[in-house]
């Protein structure tokens, strides 16, 4: 409706009528804008290419594909000239300046723009084990540890997704793109409209939002078992949850203030930042696990101190050396990288599990013996104290008798 009004407004303007009657082509129309290039980008320095896929990920027309190149023994971007719209996004996103269109590289250098990309990458702080694997493989060094979790600088990220490949825990690094955002926004608008209709039917004379919330509590709207929590690292402040929530969500403090447990916020969240239940860490590499060679280990316990997964590494009470629990180890390789004597290697999970079970049984047995000894010692000390107290009482009685007899 608004677009139709705009067209009507344009048609009745005197300037447009004059142009229409003159029917002359303006000179400015045939001149390409400064930013537009008539030719597709050129691959100037293929030897510099690191096959990160930033150009492919930034192309809005999907005109770029990474193809294996035998000459350079790596993947090099190939541009479909027919599909290319000469936008220059690939040139801006390339971290090693392999591509160029005219002087666009010079024009955009140093400008505070986000690097163009179709898909965005974000880290789930509830699943992240802070192993630093993503940081190690990032070709543009935009991943940092903030004291709680690793964070990706969205402005500098080129969308190569190498961090996803390197991450040992399944679905810890999530992606979202324009398509997902559009789907979630459409869903949000549908739910919002549906809820408004149902509210109008139930309480046509009520304008108080709190009354509607009270009506919904304990009703069919309760579709989830608990109040959702907001994962701060995943929230992109799209406000979809706020739009559909009949209660109150405080996005500034990442908290659900009032909830009717309808679950709509979870349904419209594009990054799964709205969440209920316990999060289970899924391990990518299950058939292999890290093992500590006790003959090479010097007992420095650096692996034990550096591991960020609870109960993934234990210290043996028998050998005083660390050993790995393959059931909780996520295979991130942090212990392997930190070991100063290369005593840690990757082997079959079954072998590690066998050693773990033996060590764990011995540790538990030692713990039982230690507990029994402590209890025995405690009872012995108590018995000894009782004997001493009894002797003191007896001596005191005899002394009192002697004093009375002497008197």
Q: Is residue 342 part of a domain?
A: yes
Cα–Cα separations (whole angstroms), residue 126 to 141, 154, 221, 271: 22, 19, 28, 13
Range list of H helices, 94-132: 104-108
Q: What CATH number has the domain bearing residue 58?
A: 3.30.70.20
| pLDDT averaged over every residue in the chain | 80
Domain that holds residue 347: 283-407
Token pair listed for 63: 């005109």
**Gap between the Cα atoms of 278 and 266, Å rounded:** 15
Report the candidate in 273, 237, 276 with the shortest Cα–Cα distance to residue 259: 276
203 in a structural domain: no
Phi, psi of 378 (to 5 degrees): -65, -45
Q: How confident is the model at residue 290 (pLDDT cuts 50, 70, 90)?
A: very high
Other CB atoms within 10 A of residue 324 CB: 25
State if pTM tops 0.75. no
Please check whether residue 260 is in contact with residue 210, taking contact to mean a CB–CB distance below 8 angstroms. no
293 token code pair: 């060679």
Question: Residue 80 falls within a domain, yes or no?
Answer: yes
pLDDT for residue 325 is more than 90: yes
pLDDT band at 341 (very low <50, low <70, confident <90, very high): very high
Torsion of CA 214, 217, 223, 228, to 10 degrees: 70
Identify which has the larger pLDDT, 35 or 88: 88
**Lowest model confidence (mean pLDDT) among 50-59, 81-90, 108-117, 252-261:** 108-117
Q: Which residues pair with 256 in a beta bridge?
A: 249
Strand 64-69 and strand 74-79: the pairing is antiparallel
| 8 within a domain of the structure (yes/no) | no
Q: Which are the contacts of 254, defined by CB distance < 8 A and separation ≥ 6? A: 230, 232, 235
**Residue 48 DSSP symbol:** G
One-character DSSP codes across 291-304: EE-TTT--S--HHH
Using the 3D structure, point to which of 59, 76, 108 is the last residue of a domain.
108
Q: Where are the beta strands (DSSP E) in 146-276?
A: 150-152, 173-177, 229-230, 248-250, 255-258, 274-275
164-182 average pLDDT score: 91
Confidence at residue 288, expressed as pLDDT on a 0 to 100 scale: 93
The verdict on residue 177 lying in a domain is no
Task: Quote the CA–CA distance of 127 and 168 in Å, as a whole number.
Answer: 10
Q: Which of 336, 332, 333, 329 is nearest to 352 (CA)?
A: 329
| Chosen domain end from 108, 143, 164 | 108
How confident is the model at residue 205, as a pLDDT?
A: 47
Say what the pLDDT of residue 217 is: 47
Give the pLDDT score at 122: 93
47 lies in some domain: yes
Closest listed residue to residue 94, CA positions, set 58, 135, 64, 42 = 58
Confidence of residue 221 (pLDDT cuts 50, 70, 90): low
Residues 6 or more apart from 77 whose CB is under 8 A from it?
43, 49, 55, 56, 64, 65, 66, 67, 90, 98, 99
pLDDT bin (cut points 50, 70, 90) of residue 206 is very low
Q: pLDDT band for position 406 (50/70/90)?
A: very low
Q: Give the number of C-alpha atoms closer than 13 A to the C-alpha of residue 71, restricted to the C-beta side.
A: 5
pLDDT at 276 over 70: yes
Does 145 map to a domain?
no
372 is a domain residue: yes
CB 205 within 8 A of CB 242: no
Backbone angles phi, psi at 257, to 5 degrees: -80, -50
Assign 228 a pLDDT band (cuts: 50, 70, 90): very high
Predicted local confidence at residue 313, as pLDDT: 94
- More reliable by pLDDT, 376 or 191: 191
Q: Which of 76, 108, 140 is the last residue of a domain?
A: 108
Rounded Cα distance between 92 and 325, Å, is 46
pLDDT at 215: 47
Can you list the alpha helix ranges (DSSP code H) found in 203-332? 209-216, 240-244, 264-268, 302-306
pLDDT band at 278 (very low <50, low <70, confident <90, very high): confident
The rounded distance, in Å, linking the Cα atoms of 371 and 200 is 67
pLDDT at 20: 59
How many domains does the chain contain in total?
A: 2
Region 121-150: what's the mean pLDDT? 91
Cα separation of the two ends of the chain: 121
């Amino acid at each position: 409706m608004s677009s139709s009004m705009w067209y009507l407004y344009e048609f009745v303007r005197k300037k447009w009528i004059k142009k229409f009657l003159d029917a002359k082509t303006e000179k400015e129309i045939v001149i390409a804008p400064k930013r537009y290039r008539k030719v597709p980008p050129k691959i100037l320095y293929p030897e510099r290419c690191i096959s990160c896929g930033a150009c492919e990920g930034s192309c809005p027309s999907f005109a770029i594909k990474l193809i294996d190149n035998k000459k350079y023994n790596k993947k090099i971007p190939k541009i479909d000239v027919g599909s290319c719209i000469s936008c220059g996004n690939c040139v801006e996103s390339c971290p090693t300046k392999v591509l160029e269109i005219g002087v666009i590289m010079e024009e955009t250098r140093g400008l505070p723009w986000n690097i163009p990309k179709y898909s965005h990458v974000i880290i789930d702080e509830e699943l992240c084990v802070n192993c630093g694997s993503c940081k190690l493989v990032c070709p543009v060094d935009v991943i940092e540890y903030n004291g709680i979790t690793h964070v990706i600088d969205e402005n500098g990220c080129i969308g190569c997704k190498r961090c996803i490949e390197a991450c040992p825990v399944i679905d810890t690094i999530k992606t979202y793109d324009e398509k997902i955002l559009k789907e979630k926004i459409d869903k949000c608008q549908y739910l919002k409209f549906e809820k408004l209709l149902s509210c109008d039917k139930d309480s046509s004379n009520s304008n108080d939002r709190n009354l509607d919330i009270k009506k919904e509590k304990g009703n069919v709207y309760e579709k989830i078992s608990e109040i959702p929590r907001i994962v701060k690292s995943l929230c992109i402040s799209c406000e979809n949850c706020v739009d559909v929530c009949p209660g109150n969500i405080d996005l500034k403090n990442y908290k659900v203030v009032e909830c009717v447990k309808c679950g709509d916020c979870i349904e419209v969240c594009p990054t799964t930042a709205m969440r209920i239940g316990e999060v289970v860490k899924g391990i990518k590499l299950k058939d292999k696990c890290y093992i500590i060679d006790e003959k090479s280990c010097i007992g420095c316990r650096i692996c034990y101190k550096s591991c960020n997964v609870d109960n993934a590494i234990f210290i043996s009470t028998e050998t005083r050396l660390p050993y790995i629990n393959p059931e909780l180890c996520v295979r991130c390789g942090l212990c392997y990288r930190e070991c100063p004597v290369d005593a840690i290697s990757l082997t079959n999970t079954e072998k590690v599990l066998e050693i773990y079970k033996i060590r764990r049984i011995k540790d538990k047995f030692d713990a039982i013996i230690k507990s029994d000894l402590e209890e025995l010692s405690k009872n012995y000390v108590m018995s000894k104290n009782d004997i001493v107290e009894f002797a003191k009482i007896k001596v005191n009685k005899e002394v009192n008798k002697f004093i009375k007899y002497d008197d």
